[in-house]
Amino acid sequence: MNLDDYVKLYNEAVFDTNRDRALKVVHDAMEQGVSPEDVVFQIVLPAMDLMVDAISKNFDANLAQHFMTARIADMVTAEVVPKFKKMPKVVGRVVIGTAMGDFHTLGKRIVIGCLKARMIDAIDLGVNVPAERFVDEAVAHEAAIIGISALMVHTATGENGCRKVRQILRERQLQDKIKIVVGGAAFRFHPQMFKTVGADTWAADAVTAGKVIENLLQEAQP
C-alpha cells in the first residue's frame, strides 16, 4: 500500500471512533517504511484538519469523533515524534489551565494532546488557576497565547477568570503581545460569550482549539 492508502484507512478508523484500528494503521504504515514524520504530518494532522472541516460545514461529526481524533493524535504523537530523524521546530508556546473555581481536567488534557500533535509547546497550569498566574506563567515561558478552559458558566464569566486575565494584560501593557483563547462547555452554549469575558477568540472543542491556536500563532509571527 502507498501513503494515500494509509491516509484513507486512518481517516476511516478515526471517523468510526475505532482507536485500535487507527493505531494499527499507524503501526502498519511504519512497518512498511512510512517515516515517522509522514505519519504525523501526512496522516495524523490532516485527519485533525478534516475533522475541523467536518465540524465547520456541519457534517455528521459528533463529540465522540472529536474526542477520539484528539486522543489518537495525542497517543500517536507521543509514540512517533521521538523517532523523528530531526526534532521538529516548535510552532509556538501556549500556557493553558482551567479558570479559577473550575476543577475539570478532561477537556484541557485533550486540547494539550491536539496542540502537541501540531508541534505547539503547551504548558499545563492545572486546574483552579488564578488570573495572575496565567499571566505570570505566560510571561515566564514567553508564551504568545493563554488558554482558559471553563466547564461552568459561573467560572467562565466570573471576575477571577478570563475577565481578570484581560484586565491584568492591559495593566501590564501586554494585550497586544499575548492573546486569550477560551473554551469549554460554557462557551458552546453561549458562542458569543467569549467577547463578553474579554477573550480574543474561542473554540467549541479540542480538535478545533488546536487549529484555532495554530492559526493565532501563525498570525503572530513577524
Q: Per-domain residue ranges for the chain? A: 3-83, 92-220
Instruction: Name residue, grid cell 478545533.
Output: 208
Q: What mean pLDDT do residues 56-60 have? A: 60
Strand bridging mode 120-129 / 92-99 = parallel
Do the domains at 3-83 and 92-220 have one common CATH topology?
A: no
Give per-residue pLDDT as tens, 35-47.
999 999 999 989 8
Q: What is the CA radius of gyration of the chain?
A: 18
User: Which cell numbers hold the place of 30?
Assistant: 511504519
More confident residue, 169 or 220: 169
Residue 61: pLDDT band with limits 50, 70, 90: low
Query: For a pLDDT cut of 90, what percent of the chain falls above it?
Result: 56
- Taking the domain 3-83, which CATH number applies? 1.10.1240.10
> Strand 179-183's sheet: what is its strand order?
120-129, 92-99, 145-149, 179-183, 201-203
Give per-residue pLDDT as tens, 93-144.
999 999 999 888 877 888 888 898 888 999 999 999 999 999 999 999 999 9
Query: For a pLDDT cut of 70, what percent of the chain falls above it?
Result: 95
Q: How far apart are CA 186 and CA 102, in angstroms?
A: 11
Q: How far apart are CA 71 and CA 153, in angstroms?
A: 26
* CATH number assigned to the domain with residue range 92-220, chosen from the 4 options 3.40.50.280, 1.10.1270.20, 1.20.1440.230, 3.40.630.10: 3.40.50.280
